[in-house]
């Protein structure tokens, strides 16, 4: 699966407290960005059929079946000084300076 650091879990919990007490974090990959793929994250109330669902540091995480192949082994961190959330992804063969775009040879 993926790892959510304590700092990321704390920030996600703060965001949830604002409007979505029981929500989880959806993490996904879609085509686009400067390098071919782009990360996305959003707060959602529930998971979809087929999603991988797990919990890390009290945060529920939802990942769709296609995205999981690109995200397996990744770590989500939060650091105010680095611009917020970052994803360290062992499946990325190259990344872009924007920090949210990557190239991968991961098989679906």
Q: In this predicted model, what pLDDT tens digit does every residue of 39-63 receive, in sequence order?
A: 888 989 889 999 999 998 989 999 9
Confidence of residue 34 (pLDDT cuts 50, 70, 90): low
pLDDT at 107 over 50: no
* pLDDT tier for residue 99 given thresholds of 50, 70 and 90: low
- Residue 11 CA: distances (Å) to CA of 42, 43, 79, 92, 96: 13, 12, 9, 25, 24
Which residue bears the tokens 């704390």? 10
More confident residue, 61 or 91: 61
- Assess whether pLDDT exceeds 70 at residue 21: no
Range of the domain at 21: 3-104
Asked whether the predicted pLDDT for residue 13 surpasses 60, the reply is: yes
Confidence of residue 35 (pLDDT cuts 50, 70, 90): low
Number of folded domains in the chain?
A: 1
Q: What is the CATH number of the domain that holds 92?
A: 2.60.300.12
| pLDDT for res 108 | 43
Which helix (H) or strand (E) segment is 28 a member of? strand 24-32
The rounded distance, in Å, linking the Cα atoms of 25 and 29 is: 13
Which 3 state secondary structure label does DSSP give 46? Answer: coil
Tally of residues, the chain:
108
Q: Which has the closest alpha carbon to 82: 103, 61, 98?
A: 98
């Amino acid at each position: 699966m993926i790892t959510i650091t304590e700092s990321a879990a704390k920030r996600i919990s703060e965001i949830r407290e604002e409007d979505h007490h029981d929500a989880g974090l959806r993490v996904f990959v879609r085509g686009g960005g400067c390098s071919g793929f782009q990360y996305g994250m959003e707060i959602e109330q529930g998971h979809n059929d087929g999603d991988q669902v797990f919990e890390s540091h009290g945060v529920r995480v939802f990942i769709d079946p296609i995205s999981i192949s690109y995200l397996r082994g990744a770590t989500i961190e939060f650091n105010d000084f680095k611009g917020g959330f970052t994803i360290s992804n062992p499946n990325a063969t190259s990344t872009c300076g924007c920090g949210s775009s990557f190239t991968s040879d991961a098989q679906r």
